[in-house]
Homo-oligomer: A and B are copies of this chain.
Amino acid sequence: MSVGRIMVVGVGPGHADLLTPHAANALRQAAVVVGYSGYFPWIEELIVGKESIALPLGQERERALIAIEHAANGRSVALISSGDPGIYAMASVTLEMLGTMEPKRRPEIVIVPGVSALNAAAALLGAPLGHDFAAISLSDLLTPWPVIEKRLSAAAGADFVLALFNPKSVRRDWQLARAREILLGKRAGATPVGVVRNAYRPEQSVCVTTLEQLDVAAVDMFAVVIVGNSTTRFQDGLLLTPRGYDIAPPGETP
């Protein structure tokens, strides 16, 4: 039996207009499409008539396993991942699971990059990531909390812009408040913060606030929280982290 192929496809943050032609082609080529049911609304038109397997949220291993089993049976499988598969998404778990199989049975794997929630949230906030940044997941389901604290503290101390993923969930309700406390120990209360929920989806919300004013209770699992560095400022309701250029007003020679 010939071995198939898994394409781990980044379908962008949540709108068909942010899904690349590369991803669309991968979905069209696939015989089977596997993914979290919540990601199907903006890809539906591309997968009409295909075998599609929609699974609940949180079952990353199960989704990867189903995709691998179909591919090991010789089929071409698209495993869909919201945003970019490489950033807190399906690339890692799928590759890791493939590594447990006998090499000769392993399907070929292709990662199709996408516009991540990070890119999307930043675009909606202006230019918060204008300089070096660190991405940290606040989920301690898979990572011990002390490791997360150490990273928060190190990144805040070295003046990185911070992008906080998985800030909260129904079961994880205290981590964001604790993270805010750690960051307030290293960064001013007036530091600009952006909270983007459901970027480019119908339920999108964008909130601009400060580290001091951040309403932790209003943040949920659909949010990405971006915390500025010491140079980040507000401009016209957006967040701006300067790159460090010497900027002269238009019309004046720099």
Q: Which residues of A contact B (CB under 8 A)?
A: 10, 12-13, 15-22, 25, 60-61, 65, 68-69, 72, 84-88, 91-101, 103, 106, 109, 111-116, 119-120, 122-124, 126-137, 142-143, 147-148, 150-151, 153-155, 157-160, 235-236, 238, 240-245, 247-250, 254
- Please name all residues of chain B whose beta carbon is closer than 8 Å to the beta carbon of A61 when the two chains form the complex: 245, 247, 254
Known A-B contacts A86-B123, A243-B93, A243-B142; the reply to A17 vs B20 at CB < 8 A is: yes
Q: Which of B85, B159, B245 contacts A96 (CB 8 A)?
A: B245
Q: Which of B85, B103, B134, B241 contacts A160 (CB 8 A)?
A: B134
Contact B133 A134 (CB under 8 A): yes
Q: Of B119, B134, B244, which is within 8 A of A142 by CB?
A: B244
Report B-chain residues with C-beta under 8 Å of the C-beta of A93: 243, 245, 247
Question: In the complex, how many angstroms separate the beta carbon of A140 from the nearest chain B beta carbon?
Answer: 10
Q: What residues on B are CB-neighbors of A249 within 8 Å? A: 97, 100-101
**Is the Cβ of B126 less than 8 Å from the Cβ of A111?**
yes
- Smallest CB gap from A132: residue in B: B136
Distance between Cα atoms of A126 and B153 in the complex (Å): 29
Q: How far is the CB of A15 from chain B (nearest CB, A)?
A: 8
CB distance from A212 to the nearest CB of B (A): 23
